[in-house]
């Protein structure tokens, strides 16, 4: 009987691994290009802006802003951007969990005094309704909301003047929830901000990041 022997050492493992990595990278790149084309064809549709007469019939929006501290150096500018929104009817409810955060409360009250034409108020103290502290912090805003539409926006978000109008006009009989992906801004190079920025990119491009992890592990 003829014998058959095979040695694993005859395989060029480096070349094989390189080809596998190249194939995986090309596959991910292909999916990414397909997503760009699909998004451009089906999702990238600018909503026609309503004229001033039609804007008065747009539903009001309650904006909940949960706040915790003053650690964000861009906090004041971020919050101020919500006072200049190009939308006919909205209110801003600031929810501050710590009742003793006097400096934060003073900052918010200063913005409210600076923009007296905007309906804004401050609630302090959180209600115990679950394990999520942010949800507990926003319960006051939810219970006191006077408009049918409810927008949850973190302290690190900065809005363009037409963003709220754009979001509301995307609501239809078939669309009941609108989310806008935040775009990270440069300028603050602290380590915590860099980590947050990288984490956001990972959410946007999970396949690409996972491939990078695979490549790093393979090279270790």
- pTM for the predicted model, two decimal places: 0.65
Q: What is the pLDDT of residue 81?
A: 94
Helix, strand, or coil (residue 195): helix
In this structure, the strands spanning 119-124 and 90-96 are parallel
Helix, strand, or coil (residue 70): coil
The answer to whether the beta carbons of residues 78 and 160 sit under 8 Å apart is no
Residue 220 tokens read as 């270790």
Helix, strand, or coil (residue 123): strand
Q: What is the pLDDT of residue 199?
A: 54
Between the CA of residue 149 and those of 60, 115, 145, 178, 179, what are the distances in Å?
6, 22, 9, 11, 13
Q: What is the pLDDT of residue 107?
A: 92
Q: What is the pLDDT of residue 219?
A: 39
- The helix (run of H) or strand (run of E) holding residue 169 is helix 163-169
Weakly modelled stretches of the chain, pLDDT under 50: 53, 202-220
Q: What is the pLDDT of residue 38?
A: 78
């Amino acid at each position: 009987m003829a014998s058959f022997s095979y040695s694993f050492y005859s395989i060029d493992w480096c070349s094989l691994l390189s080809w596998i990595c190249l194939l995986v990278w090309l596959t991910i790149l292909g999916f990414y290009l397909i997503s760009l084309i699909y998004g451009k064809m089906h999702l990238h549709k600018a909503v026609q802006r309503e004229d001033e007469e039609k804007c008065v019939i747009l539903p009001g929006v309650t904006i909940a802003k949960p706040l915790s501290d003053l650690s964000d150096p861009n906090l004041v500018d971020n919050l101020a951007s919500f006072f200049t929104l190009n939308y006919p009817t909205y209110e801003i409810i600031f929810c501050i969990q710590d009742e003793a955060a006097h400096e934060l409360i003073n900052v918010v009250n200063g913005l409210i005094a600076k923009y007296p034409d905007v309906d804004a108020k401050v609630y302090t103290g959180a209600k115990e309704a679950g394990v999520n502290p942010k949800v507990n912090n926003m319960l006051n805003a939810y219970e006191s909301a006077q408009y049918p539409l409810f927008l949850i926006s973190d302290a690190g978000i900065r809005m363009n003047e037409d963003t709220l109008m754009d979001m509301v006009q995307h609501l239809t009989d078939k669309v009941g929830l609108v989310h806008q992906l935040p775009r990270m801004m440069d300028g603050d190079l602290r380590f915590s901000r860099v980590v947050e920025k990288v984490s956001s990119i990972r959410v946007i491009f999970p396949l690409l990041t996972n491939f990078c992890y695979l490549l790093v592990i393979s090279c270790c």
